[in-house]
Amino acid sequence: MATTERELTEPVDLCLPDGRTLNPRAVGWSRKPVHRANLVGRWGRTKRWDYWALLADEVVVSLTYADVDYLGLVAVWWYERASGRTGGREVVVPFARGVTLPDLPGTQPLTFSHHHLGVGVVDDAQGTSLTVRWRERDGRVGRLDARVALPSGHDSVNVVIPWSRTRFQYTSKHQARPATASLWLGEDHLELGGAHRPAWGVLDVGRGRWPYRTRWNWGAGAGVTADGRVLGIQLGGRWTAGTGATENGIIVDGRVLKLGDELQWQYDWERPLEPWRVVSPDGQLDLTLLPDHDRHARTQALVLATEVHQVFGRWSGQAPADDGTVVAVDGLLGFAEESRSCW
């Protein structure tokens, strides 16, 4: 089930010099980010975002920093597993004024300042620092100071999805990056990560030009297996079908096995808290997420309409590794989602 997609190892521009047309040399996948998203023009179809999630036994925290041309979205969200409480804050910015993402992800800080929400994301060679301050709807103050390490040699899944010469997406998915964080929710304080109760960082970088109507599946997860291997799960579906490319990969001890097959997703949109199963055609990958929380979001704003079920829980089953072995998975933290968008 390993991929036949072309592996890229040298820096490459996503677009031809006009900034509008897909560069044929950019089509393929890489273990490390090598694409520069030199997108110019075609206003309304260009989408740029960085999405971070921190997965821990106690809590899930996510940060969205997005520019979809006609608006920007900066948001923090959290879910406390023991109590079931959720919270956070989001700010919508008309025409994405002040929401800026670099062509080469990770090469400049992401900053945002608003009286309800402030964000700073700074990358260096060893990882990423996330600083978020916000005010909950009930007036409580939230604060996150996090560090997501990038261990030497740790692979990610980077791929260009080519719908056509003018509709394409570069995605960079990072899984199983060790994280530590201090989280304050009003008077409550949590320390996340460490040797005995590890936390994990997830990063989804998106740069591209999308059709107006889209649907996708995404699944992610991380943890340490019973035999002591660090496992990262990166699964996708729907949006890549028919393109000859996928965003699927399994990372074991920092080494990615890129999966070229489309995966079968089995779940019920109307009953999202029932199990979500993802299976490869050859059966080597067979994973089931047992959810404990459904983040159901619906947005309707003029030309933009989205609805998503993002469920959080634990993965179990089996997954293949780059060394030819099959890894047993039992209770690894993660999430799965379906998104339906007109944007």
CB contact burial 169-193 (16+ within 10 A = b; e otherwise): bbbbbbbbbbbbbebebeeeebebb
Instruction: Identify whether the C-beta of residue 329 lies closer than 8 Å to the C-beta of residue 315.
Output: yes
Cβ atoms within 10 Å of 72's Cβ, excluding its own: 23
Instruction: Identify whether the C-beta of residue 70 lies closer than 8 Å to the C-beta of residue 93.
Output: no
Q: How far is CA 241 from CA 172, 224, 248, 323, in A?
A: 18, 31, 12, 27
* Alpha-carbon span 69 to 337, nearest angstrom: 24
Count of H-run helices and E-run strands, the chain: 0, 24
pLDDT digit of tens for each residue in the chain (343 aa)?
A: 678 899 999 999 999 999 999 999 999 999 999 999 999 987 878 999 999 999 999 999 999 999 999 899 999 999 999 999 999 999 999 999 999 999 999 999 999 999 999 999 999 999 999 999 999 999 999 999 999 999 999 999 999 999 999 999 999 999 999 999 999 999 999 999 988 899 999 999 999 999 999 999 999 999 999 999 999 999 999 999 999 999 999 999 999 999 999 999 999 999 999 999 999 999 999 999 999 999 999 988 777 889 999 999 999 999 999 999 999 999 999 999 999 999 8
Instruction: Identify whether the C-beta of residue 181 lies closer than 8 Å to the C-beta of residue 11.
Output: no
Instruction: Identify whether the C-beta of residue 142 lies closer than 8 Å to the C-beta of residue 78.
Output: yes
pTM: 0.96
